[in-house]
Amino acid sequence: MVLQPAVEKWSGKIAEVAIGNAGPAGIIKVGGQETLPFLFSEGKIPNAPFAAFEIWDVNPADWPQELKTAWGESLKDPFAWAEACVNKYKAQALCLRLAGSHPDYGNRSAADEAKLASGLAQKFGLPMIVIGSGDKEKDNAVLPAVSEALKGRQCLIGCATQDNYKTLTAACLADGHSIIAESPIDINIAKQLNILISDMGLPLERIVIDPTTGALGYGLEYAYSIMERARLAALSGDKTVASPFICFVGLEAWKAKEAKVSLEQGIIWEAMTAAALLQAGADILVMRHPAAIEKVKKHIENLMGK
């Protein structure tokens, strides 16, 4: 008697979200899965996850020295930083964090941030993710200006939260972008925020969920379980949580004291955090160290059977 493996068939699928336009790197699509991560025997997985290089509009003073060493003087100039990502490390996408717009971190103006984002998009042509500073009032002023400056480029912009989503949703709707919906490791809040955003007219197919994960050893297991629950609900037919996931791996991994012990250990900490989140269903990994990104890219290729 030959035993056959059990095969699960799902009624739902994850929404497919496109980022980018007809630039040098073209369009990157994420989502579209009809099964759990990398279970090819149970359904289609049309799009591979990918890692985006995180760059800042200002020199990130709070990064550990082990991480800063990888980028050197380019940290002082976003264009030089992006050029290293593109030319040296063959980046697929850039994630621009507008940390310098925060009132306590430089208070850069909306006009300055819009000019920077537009300049990077025009020079490099890669699919772009743009993240605000985290200050709600300032983000409401800055992100709509950035959205307008990037109109037609089909970017991914965030982050929208349950009490601060209306302004950014309206901007993304007007300018043709997709939105990042941030929820604090809570599937119910993620679901409710997706409903609120879609009620404003932005299709569910233009929403990406940020489940606010933790790093290896710092709440990763709980974040994993929330992502897994959301993915199971989506595949069972709940379209309100059937969005791709974006995980800010570098942000979380390099906070860990273990990552600061040595450069090698920091790279491993970031790569291992990313590898775990891929199994939880992560579609976009925003990462910081180029060596960690290279390891994860090879890991994704192996998982996808390439």
| Mean model confidence pLDDT for the chain | 95
What count of residues does the chain have?
Answer: 306
Q: 224-264 pLDDT, tens per residue?
A: 999 999 999 999 999 999 999 999 999 999 999 999 999 99
Which of 247, 250, 251, 252 has its CA nearest to residue 283? 247
Q: 20-74 pLDDT, tens per residue?
A: 986 656 899 999 999 999 999 999 999 999 999 999 999 999 999 989 999 999 9
The residue with greater pLDDT, 6 or 219, is 219
* Residue 233 near residue 272 (C-beta atoms within 8 A): no
- Cα–Cα distance for residue pair 45/61, rounded to 1 Å: 39
**Given the DSSP bridges, would you call strands 16-19 and 28-31 parallel, antiparallel or unpaired?**
antiparallel
The CATH classification of domain 48-303, taken from the options 3.90.1150.10, 1.10.12.10, 3.40.1190.20, 3.20.20.20: 3.20.20.20
Two tokens, residue 12: 């739902």
DSSP-based three-state secondary structure for 146 = helix
Q: Which residues pair with 196 in a beta bridge?
A: none
If you write DSSP's letter for every residue of 65-77 in order, what string do you get? HHHHTTTGGGGG-
Domain-wise residue ranges, the chain: 48-303
Q: How far is CA 209 from the centre of its chain?
A: 9
Distances 3 to 6, 29, 196, 229 between C-alpha atoms, Å: 9, 37, 47, 29
Distances 90 to 25, 63, 109, 212 between C-alpha atoms, Å: 10, 23, 30, 27
Two tokens, residue 217: 């050893």
Q: 109-153 pLDDT, tens per residue?
A: 999 999 999 999 999 999 999 999 999 999 999 999 999 999 999
Q: Rounded to the nearest 5 degrees, what angle is found at the Cα of 161, between the Cα atoms of 58 and 115?
A: 35
- Where does residue 3 rank: exposed (0-12), middle (13-18), buried (19+ CB within 10 A)? exposed
- Cα–Cα distance for residue pair 50/30, rounded to 1 Å: 8
